[in-house]
């Protein structure tokens, strides 16, 4: 009897490429096509298990039951802490792996249980009206890039052979609302804006983070659907950026190509157009057998009509199975280090502690008149008012998991002061116009020593197109004010004379003009995750010194913004906005004071191909210890073309005890003082540059002590990078 030889692809000692090629060579065309939707079919005779590619982990494992819920992405960005992001992403990937292997042991292979994740969202948050801006790292390409790279690396791990997970930066590229138009709109974006603003975070995630997957946007860019565009997927992503992973469509985007964008007439043409342009995998939405059969017929029909070749399908299959092999899916579990992560890692106390730390670091103190904060813990009575004070939704944001335990703002205050009388009422609803609860709220506030009022919005008001049940624009916002009668309630409570601490929840900018003038203390809490209430109470009562900084500009009014549909960057974000903001990008207060001095440049004159070193002394001149985010901005004063007013080009979050001084050093490369011309080409030209280092942007210093400025000159010939 002849012993049957094990197929090459099953041998973990063979080269990866040979294994992938061997497996694909054994598949029929129908079997190959069955692997090109997110619910990939089982191929029994080849021992290929069923696999669902769709999973989410924006700020914790989403939609898969109990998991640690960290602050929403915009809140993590507000920490300006790359090391913290690394810790968060590693914890998320631990929980992802733990859940996956538990599911496999129970033979569960459904949606949201795999190892391929459609996160992070690194779109530029160019307009605060966009409901999904909360999923991003804000309005700055540099901050978004640093956060995105750290997240991708933390998810994918550092093993030389195996991937921990697959990260998928999305939505490539230039996608940021309006939500209702995403399936039909054709964005007009110049090469300059594309390379200067919209593309950098994707570039960084691919080139530095080594992201294994990318998801294109629904919309068209300059008349071509993003998911079926050779210029985007081949010329830029693969050829220029060197991406060698797989491309996955957003859900239902294949249908958009012929049905909504109408760039072709038939689904077969759309399938061929996308795959020929570089698309490898189609999300067909929530899975039904009918949907899978329909998409299979479209792709098969494209082959039958000569629009698509089997060789092109093989290219996609090779990229898809390379990822699955690198995840260890065809190897014995004992060979895969990440397969050993125990299920008990999920939602463990260590992870909950990190969620609390992240929430603390994300909080931004916007106002603190006369140092009213932190509050004394010996108060006899405190009123807690607001629709968001005792609400789970405002902790979680969107694309979230389910915390086994959570602490609302009300509960956080109660836990902090168990002997103090805490009086609570909502006062009003999130969005409706009823003032029915005003009277009770006013009565409670009048008989309290102080009022903590929790207002703002939630993911029910700003979110993805089909998820925001209380939105006025299918997920987007039509204004930046507090919705419903929240500001009316705030004004009534203010008129009582009782001091008010205002806590805001949101994933985007709020135009709280009345509060800025009249309310003594304002805290921006974002959607702070499962321990958001505990973290906020820590800040209010002085057990944590806030140090978060805004990753977005807070505008005075929507009237300061260009048209929502206009993707020209002129007038948008702190880089191009020439008006006066309510609160500036990079802004955030502390309970202590920092003094910046002794700005040193390695040279005041550098050549176009040279680095420049920047150092500064930062001293805590206040009475308590605290963190400070040191921000570096560069402005090109003599550029030959339009350039940003200033650009963030470095930041570090440091800790300083009272009286402690540290020297903080940065290195700027030629890329960081380069410009993008109208052809989208990056170059360094001679000229004069301004540099500022401090705890905020130049021009927004509270007392002049928390920023220093200098200049340097670039000399020599123009170089192209």
Q: How far apart are CA 428 and CA 488, in angstroms?
A: 10
Q: How far apart are CA 192 and CA 171, in angstroms?
A: 19
Active site residue 566: no
| CA-based nearest residue to 651, from 2, 27, 109, 140 | 140
| DSSP characters over 544-579 | S------SSPBPS-GGGS--TT----TT-HHHH--S
Q: Longest C-alpha distance within the chain, in Å?
A: 95
Q: How many residues does the chain have?
A: 721
* pLDDT, position 289: 59
* pLDDT, position 671: 97
Question: Is the torsion defined by CA of 107, 111, 113, 117 positive or negative?
Answer: positive
Active site residue 250: yes
* pLDDT, position 555: 98
CA 420 to chain centroid: 38
* pLDDT, position 288: 60
Active-site position among 390, 462, 647, 685: 462
* pLDDT, position 704: 64
652: Cβ–Cβ under 8 A, 6 or more apart, which residues? 629, 630, 664, 666
* pLDDT, position 596: 97
* pLDDT, position 2: 44
Active-site position among 39, 179, 224, 250: 250
CB contact burial 669-690 (16+ within 10 A = b; e otherwise): ebebbbbbbeeeeebbbebebe
* pLDDT, position 699: 82
Q: Which stretches of the chain drop beneath a pLDDT of 50? A: 1-2
Q: Please give the domain boundaries of the chain with CATH numbers for all domains.
A: 30-342 (3.20.20.300), 351-565 (3.40.50.1700), 594-720 (2.60.40.10)
| Residue 522 Ramachandran class (φ > 0 left, ψ -120 to 50 alpha, else beta) | beta
Q: What is the pLDDT of residues 132-147, one digit of tens each?
A: 999 999 999 999 999 9
* pLDDT, position 684: 97
């Amino acid at each position: 009897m002849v012993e049957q030889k094990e197929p090459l692809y099953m041998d973990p000692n063979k080269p990866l490429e040979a294994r992938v090629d061997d497996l694909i060579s054994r598949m029929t065309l129908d079997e190959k096509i069955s692997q090109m939707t997110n619910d990939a079919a089982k191929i029994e005779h080849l021992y290929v298990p069923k696999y669902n590619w769709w999973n989410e982990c924006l700020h914790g494992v989403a939609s898969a039951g109990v998991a640690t819920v960290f602050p929403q992405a915009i809140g993590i960005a507000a920490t300006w802490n790359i090391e913290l992001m690394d810790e968060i992403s590693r914890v998320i990937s631990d929980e992802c792996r733990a859940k996956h292997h538990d599911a496999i042991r129970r033979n569960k292979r459904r949606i949201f249980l795999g190892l391929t994740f459609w996160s992070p969202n690194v779109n530029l948050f160019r307009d605060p009206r966009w409901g999904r801006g909360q999923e991003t790292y804000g309005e700055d390409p540099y901050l978004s890039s640093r956060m995105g790279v750290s997240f991708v690396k933390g998810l994918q791990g550092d093993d030389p052979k195996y991937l921990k997970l697959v990260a998928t930066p999305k939505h490539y590229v230039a996608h940021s609302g309006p939500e209702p138009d995403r399936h039909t709109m054709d964005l007009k974006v110049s090469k300059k804006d594309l390379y200067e603003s919209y593309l950098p975070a994707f570039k960084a995630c691919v080139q530095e983070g080594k992201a294994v997957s990318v998801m294109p946007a629904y919309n068209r860019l300059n008349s071509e659907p993003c998911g079926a565009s050779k210029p985007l997927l081949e010329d830029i992503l693969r050829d220029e950026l060197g991406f060698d992973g797989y491309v996955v469509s957003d859900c239902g985007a294949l249908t958009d190509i012929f049905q909504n964008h109408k760039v072709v007439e038939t689904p077969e043409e759309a399938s061929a157009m996308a795959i020929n342009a570089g698309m490898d995998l189609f999300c067909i939405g929530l899975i039904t057998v009918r949907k899978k059969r329909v998409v299979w017929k479209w792709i098969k029909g494209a082959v039958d009509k000569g629009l698509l070749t089997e060789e092109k399908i093989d290219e996609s299959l090779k990229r898809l199975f390379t990822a699955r092999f690198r995840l260890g899916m065809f190897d014995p579990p004992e060979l895969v280090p990440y397969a050993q992560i125990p299920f008990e890692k999920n939602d463990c106390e260590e992870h909950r502690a990190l969620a609390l730390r992240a929430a603390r670091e994300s909080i931004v103190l916007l106002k603190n008149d006369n140092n009213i904060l932190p509050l004394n813990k010996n108060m006899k009575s405190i009123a807690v008012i607001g629709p968001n004070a005792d609400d789970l939704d405002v902790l979680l944001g969107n694309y979230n998991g389910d915390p086994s335990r959570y602490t609302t703002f009300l509960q956080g205050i109660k836990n902090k002061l168990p002997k103090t009388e805490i009086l609570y009422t909502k006062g009003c609803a999130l969005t409706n116009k009823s003032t029915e609860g005003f009277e009770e709220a006013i009565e409670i506030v009048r008989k309290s020593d102080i009022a903590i009022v929790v207002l703002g919005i939630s993911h029910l008001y700003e979110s993805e197109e089909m998820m925001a049940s209380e939105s006025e624009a299918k997920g987007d916002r039509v204004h930046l004010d507090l919705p419903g009668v929240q500001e009316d309630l705030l004004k009534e409570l203010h008129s009582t004379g009782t001091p008010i601490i205002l806590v805001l929840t949101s994933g985007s900018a709020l135009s709280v003009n009345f509060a800025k003038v009249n309310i003594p203390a304002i805290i921006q809490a974002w959607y702070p995750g499962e321990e958001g209430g505990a973290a906020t109470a820590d800040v209010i009562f002085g057990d944590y010194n806030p140090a978060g900084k805004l990753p977005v500009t807070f505008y005075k009014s929507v009237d300061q913004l260009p048209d929502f549909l206009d993707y020209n960057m002129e007038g948008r974000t702190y880089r191009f906005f020439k008006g006066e903001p309510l609160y500036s990008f990079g802004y955030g207060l502390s309970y202590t004071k920092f003094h910046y001095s002794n700005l040193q440049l390695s040279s005041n004159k550098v050549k176009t191909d040279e680095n420049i070193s920047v150092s500064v002394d930062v001293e805590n001149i206040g009475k308590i210890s605290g963190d400070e985010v040191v921000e570096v901005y560069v402005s090109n004063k003599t550029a030959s073309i339009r350039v940003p007013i200033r650009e963030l080009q470095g930041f570090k979050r440091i800790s300083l005890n009272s009286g402690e001084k540290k020297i903080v050093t940065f290195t700027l490369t030629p890329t960081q003082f380069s410009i993008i011309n109208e052809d989208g080409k990056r170059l360094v030209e001679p000229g004069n540059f301004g540099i500022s280092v401090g705890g905020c942007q130049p021009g927004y210093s509270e007392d002049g002590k928390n920023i220093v400025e200098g200049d340097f000159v670039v000399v020599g010939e123009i170089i192209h990078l």
